[in-house]
Amino acid sequence: MVTTTALEAELLEIAGSVPDPELPVLTLQELGVLRAVHLSGADAVEVELTPTYTGCPAVEAMSLDIERALRAHGMREVTVRTVLAPAWSTDDITAEGRRKLREFGIAPPRAVRDKGPVSLDLGPTRTLEARTLEEPDPVRCPHCGSADTELLSRFSSTACKALRRCLACREPFDHFKEL
């Protein structure tokens, strides 16, 4: 069993409060990408960070922001290590993070029920998805709450999001895709 010291917990909180560079409404803790902080000396620390996907371009900015925050707190040596296992999942986004996404106008990801691979069906760019009363968890419009939405593009401002439109209020919105 790994024991976390009070200083490690404090440094984890500081690193976790760093805003995500692509979604500054969320902190790295709320996004669920910050895995651990380990002291490796009196003023040296190693941080474990898991990207939302392999090759995520924001990892470098996240690392620099974490280093800056921890150095400002007195850590002379900060090492940010990318950890790919266990892989990040949208289930790692906290309830507070999901609330903030919705308030920011981004539909949060739905819960991933199975931890196995996420299936992907390729087809036309613009598709109306089957919407039935039996659908357990439709993508809801963050503006009006309607489940009557359509997919406009599988990719939006970042690879993590899809572009959708609400058919009730007609507003476009990002949807943080499930992984």
Domain positions in the chain: 6-82, 94-176
User: Distance between CA 133 and CA 112 in Å, rounded?
Assistant: 20
pLDDT of residue 79: 97
pLDDT of residue 57: 86
DSSP-assigned letters across all residues of 104-152: HTEEPPPP-S-SSPPP-----SSBPPP--TT-SSPPPPTTT--S-EEEE
Provide mean pLDDT across the span 18-40. Answer: 95
Instruction: Say what the pTM is.
Output: 0.77
| pLDDT-based confidence at residue 111 (cuts at 50, 70, 90) | confident
Instruction: Supply the mean pLDDT for the chain.
Output: 87
For the domain bounded by 6-82, which CATH number is listed?
3.30.300.130
| Residue 79 main-chain phi, psi, to 5 deg | -120, 125
